Amino acid sequence: MKTIVVIETNGDLFRRINNKYASKGYNVIYCSTLLDALSVPASEISFLAIDPLALAEGEATSYIESLKMRNPGCRVLLCVCQDDADSIAEALNAGADDYIVGPFDDRTLDVHIKAMLV
Interhelix angle 12-21/106-117, rounded to 10 degrees, is: 60
Q: Tell me which residue of 58, 96, 100 sits closest to 83, measured CA to CA.
A: 100
Residue 45's DSSP bridge partners are: 3
Q: Report yes or no: 57 and 68 within 8 Å, Cβ to Cβ.
A: no
Residue 100: give its domain's CATH number: 3.40.50.2300
Q: What is the pTM of this model?
A: 0.92
Whole-number pLDDT of residue 58: 64
Amino acid at 4: I
Q: How many domains does the chain have?
A: 1
- Structural domain for 56, as ranges: 3-117
Whole-number pLDDT of residue 83: 74
Amino acid at 52: P
Whole-number pLDDT of residue 91: 87
C-alpha 40/C-alpha 10 separation (Å) is: 19
C-alpha 49/C-alpha 6 separation (Å) is: 5
Per-residue pLDDT of the chain (118 residues; tens, 9 = 90+): 899 999 998 899 999 999 999 999 999 999 998 889 999 999 999 999 988 776 665 688 889 999 999 999 999 999 987 777 888 888 899 999 999 998 899 999 999 999 999 7
How many CA atoms, within 13 angstroms, populate the side-chain half-sphere of residue 52? 29
Whole-number pLDDT of residue 107: 95
Q: Tell me which residue of 17, 97, 6, 18 sits closest to 52, measured CA to CA.
A: 6
